Amino acid sequence: MRNRLAGHSNTYHTYDVDQALAGIAEAGYDSVEMTAVLGWTEHVDLDAPQSELRARLDHYGLDLTVLSGHSDLTTPEGVDLGIKAVRWCAEWGCPVMNTAIGGHSSQDENEAAFLEGIGRLAAAADEAGVDVALEIHGDIMATGALTLPLLERIGHPRIKVAYDTANCEFYGDTAAADDIATMLPYLANVHLKDKRGGKGEWDFPGPGDGHVDFGTILGVLEAGGYSGPLSVEIEFQGEPWPPLDEVTAAMTRSRSHLNGLGLG
């Protein structure tokens, strides 16, 4: 496959940016999806000179593929933050800004409020030449099938989807292998995240350690011609996060598992 396999810095949620980048590089990745989520994982300061982060990435031999900049898009302030993240991406030359309707922690979301503000974000994305990838997350976008009508209502080519292969189960009780094809025309990013347990159970091990069918998923993506970024994201069983060496070991196993399925 032609896709770039990145390590998602959110996997190192409770660790600092250098620990995250060092771990991702040690685990064998050559690219990274960076996280800039206020109040959750703050690995990117959107107000800092980009030269500082560029130097860090160069030091660890990593390229940036996606900026994960979740904010609450049901509020004007959240839309403003999304626009800021989009403009940051344009300055960097990063083609995709990953976000979610209600931000990181929201599950019950106000669709009307979201639709009121998404036009501003879409216009900013169009001006910046950056795709906004709305993540499969929360109640409105719990699955690809549920997301289709929303995308049709938005109707803007810069508003796309970041498919999360575990969130569709956590929020929507639907297996990614049965659902991801619905999103092929809209995909701008894919989080390869595994799952154990049922709907609403926070247990996200590394790919290969849970029950998500990555072989089928990668086959669907290849058959559908998806050539965009892929990121390995592990969220374990929530806080407290595992020790740093265990996080990196999980990232290493995940890469090896996906390599064995023909990726990378």
pLDDT score recorded for residue 1: 42
HSE-CB at 206 with a 13 A cutoff on CA atoms is 19
For the chain, count helices (H), then strands (E).
Answer: 9, 9
Percent of the chain scoring above 70 in pLDDT: 97
Q: Inform me whether the pLDDT recorded for 181 exceeds 70.
A: yes
Which whole number is the average pLDDT over 90-96? Answer: 98
Q: Inform me whether the pLDDT recorded for 103 exceeds 90.
A: no
Q: What is the pLDDT of residues 211-262, one digit of tens each?
A: 999 999 999 999 999 999 999 999 999 999 999 999 999 999 999 999 999 9
Q: For the whole model, what pTM was predicted? A: 0.96
Backbone angles phi, psi at 130, to 5 degrees: -125, 140
Mean pLDDT is lowest, of 9-18, 102-111, 167-176, 253-262, for: 102-111
pLDDT score recorded for residue 110: 85
Q: Inform me whether the pLDDT recorded for 200 exceeds 60.
A: yes
Percent of the chain scoring above 90 in pLDDT: 94
Give dist(CA 85, CA 88) in Å, integer: 5
Domain 5-260, CATH class in plain words: alpha beta
Asked if residue 243 has a cis previous peptide bond (ω within 30° of 0), the answer is no
Domain ranges of the chain: 5-260
Please report which confidence band the pLDDT of residue 108 belongs to, taking 50, 70 and 90 as the band edges.
low
Mean pLDDT is lowest, of 72-81, 97-106, 174-183, 191-200, for: 97-106
